[in-house]
């Protein structure tokens, strides 16, 4: 591994060459359990800013929980799914420190000398580019019609460690790493304290939510993000067919309008409206892609959506309202039902 390097948000790094990275991997194309995926080869030799320090993440394979990740960062790079059946999830990629070297800036600037590197694999272990491709594909023998894919999302529980939401050190690192600014950090601490009081189950939920809504209204803040939908659980929910395509512009409907299309558990035709999506209500965004298939991280199999969903450009989960994954830097794209959106003209500015 790469000594004791520590990166902050905004630092410049260069992705090592293909051969240098292959030398760090085992025969399954992994380092410390984290897969190096075929889609990542395209970034070798290129320079990027550190977008987030990936010292923790959310595990979506098992019941959603927070996990500790060691010596990893997120760059401004996402998986295009080419080696995984054309998966359209667009996950933010994890980069282990051993696959990077610090530099002073973009192309044309100098490279900062590295500390001596320690071999991560026994001599002769080796990994080829073919091994990386095979590790990403079907785990079954032969050309099967329903392949099982392996990627960073499916292997995340095994490339991370338990992290208690009450381990306060993680929140200090959220701030000191540059992942979270002072204002957002303070608001997050207030919210999580408030939510824990509500979750005590001592009859304070309703008055505390009322107080939250009215306090937020005084200064134009966001409403409480965990309201129930208007329809009864089990009711058939409405749908809309806008046939939205990449590049078009939409306005996200108001929180109240969206909740009118959801059941009490905030779902529309099986798709949940997460509290992390609420801050985007009322905003105008560009459609990034129309999603019809994603790799199910629980099974590794391709999941085809009966009702296509929409991903919006620069609209990601920020971990604002999740007790078990507060300030998670994974920046997952939420999926939007078309009934939650309305087509608008391209903004003039």
pLDDT tier for residue 116 given thresholds of 50, 70 and 90: very low
Partner residues linked to 271 by β-bridges? 268
* % of the chain exceeding 70 in pLDDT: 90
Residue 28 predicted with pLDDT over 80: yes
Beta pairing, strands 302-312 & 12-15: unpaired
Angle at 173 between CA 168 and CA 179, to 5 degrees: 125
- What pLDDT, on a 0 to 100 scale, did the predictor assign at position 202? 65
Mean pLDDT of 315-343: 94
In this prediction the pTM is 0.89
Most confidently modeled range among 123-137, 183-197, 267-281, 314-328:
267-281
Mean pLDDT of 93-111: 86
Q: Are 193 and 98 in contact (CB under 8 A)?
A: no
- What pLDDT, on a 0 to 100 scale, did the predictor assign at position 191? 85
Radius of gyration, alpha carbons of the chain: 22
Partner residues linked to 78 by β-bridges? 92
Half-sphere exposure (CA, 13 Å, Cβ side) for 7?
33
H-helix or E-strand spanning residue 169: helix 169-176
- What pLDDT, on a 0 to 100 scale, did the predictor assign at position 118? 42
- What pLDDT, on a 0 to 100 scale, did the predictor assign at position 196? 77
Tokens of 32: 């410390």
Termini Cα distance of the chain: 46
Most confidently modeled range among 50-54, 135-139, 205-209:
50-54
Mean pLDDT of 50-57: 97
Determine which of 132-141, 193-202, 222-231, 255-264 has the lowest per-residue pLDDT on average. 193-202
Q: Is 244 exposed, middle or buried (0-12, 13-18, 19+ CB in 10 A)?
A: buried
CB < 8 Å & 24+ apart, contacts of 92-95: 92/51, 92/330, 92/331, 92/332, 93/37, 93/39, 93/40, 93/152, 94/34, 94/54, 94/57, 94/69, 94/152, 94/159, 95/13, 95/15, 95/40, 95/54
pLDDT tier for residue 187 given thresholds of 50, 70 and 90: confident
Sign of CA dihedral 220, 221, 224, 229: positive
CATH 2.30.30 fits 227-349, yes or no: yes
Q: Is 333 strand, coil or helix?
A: coil
Q: Is 127 strand, coil or helix?
A: coil
More confident residue, 10 or 126: 10
Residue 49 predicted with pLDDT over 90: yes
Kindly report, residue by residue over 135-151, the tens digit of the pLDDT: 998 655 455 678 999 99
* % of the chain exceeding 90 in pLDDT: 72
Residue 232 φ then ψ, to 5°: -70, 145
Please name the residue ranges forming H helices in 200-317.
205-218, 255-259
Q: Which of 312, 316, 322 is nearest to 344 (CA)?
A: 312
Residues in Cβ contact with 247 at an 8 Å cutoff, skipping those fewer than 6 apart: 286, 287
**Domain extent listing, the chain:** 12-162, 180-224, 227-349
Residue 201 predicted with pLDDT over 90: no
User: What does the DSSP assignment read for 255-285?
Assistant: HHHHHTTSBTTSEETTEE--GGGGGGTT-EE
Residues in the chain: 349
d(CA 35, CA 151): 6
Angle at 159 between CA 157 and CA 164, to 5 degrees: 60
Residue 121 predicted with pLDDT over 50: no
H-helix or E-strand spanning residue 152: helix 152-155
- What pLDDT, on a 0 to 100 scale, did the predictor assign at position 30? 97
- What pLDDT, on a 0 to 100 scale, did the predictor assign at position 339? 97
């Amino acid at each position: 591994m790469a000594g004791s390097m520590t990166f902050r948000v905004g630092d410049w790094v260069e992705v090592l060459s293909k051969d240098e990275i292959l030398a760090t991997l085992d025969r399954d194309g992994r380092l410390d359990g984290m897969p190096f995926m075929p889609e990542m080869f395209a970034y070798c030799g290129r320079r990027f800013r550190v977008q987030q320090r990936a010292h923790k993440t959310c595990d979506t394979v098992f019941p959603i929980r927070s996990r500790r990740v060691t010596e990893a960062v997120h760059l401004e790079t996402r998986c295009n799914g080419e080696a995984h059946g054309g998966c359209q999830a667009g996950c933010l990629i994890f980069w282990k420190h051993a696959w990077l070297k610090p530099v002073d800036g973009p192309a044309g600037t100098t490279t900062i000398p590295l500390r001596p590197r320690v071999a991560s694999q026994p001599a002769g272990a080796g990994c080829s580019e073919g091994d990386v491709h095979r590790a990403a594909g079907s785990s079954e023998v032969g050309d099967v019609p329903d392949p099982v894919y392996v990627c960073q999302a499916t292997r995340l529980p095994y490339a991370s460690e338990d992290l208690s939401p009450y381990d306060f050190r993680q929140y200090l690192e959220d701030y000191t790493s540059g992942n979270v600014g002072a204002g957002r950090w303070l608001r997050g601490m207030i919210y999580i304290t408030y939510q824990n009081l509500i979750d005590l189950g001592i009859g304070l939920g309703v008055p505390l939510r009322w107080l939250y809504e009215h306090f937020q209204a005084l200064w134009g803040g966001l409403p409480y993000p965990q309201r129930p939908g208007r329809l009864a659980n089990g009711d058939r929910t409405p749908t809309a067919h806008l046939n939205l395509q990449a590049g078009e512009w939409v306005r996200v409907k108001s929180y109240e309008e969206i909740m009118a299309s959801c059941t009490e558990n905030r779902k529309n035709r099986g798709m949940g409206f997460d509290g992390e999506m609420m801050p985007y209500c009322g905003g105008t965004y560009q459609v990034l892609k129309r999603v019809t298939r994603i790799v199910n991280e629980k099974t590794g199999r391709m999941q085809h959506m009966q009702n296509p969903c929409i991903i919006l450009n620069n609209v990601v989960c920020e971990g604002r309202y999740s007790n078990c994954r507060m300030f998670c830097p994974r920046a997952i794209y939420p999926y939007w039902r078309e009934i939650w959106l309305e087509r608008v003209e391209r903004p003039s500015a």
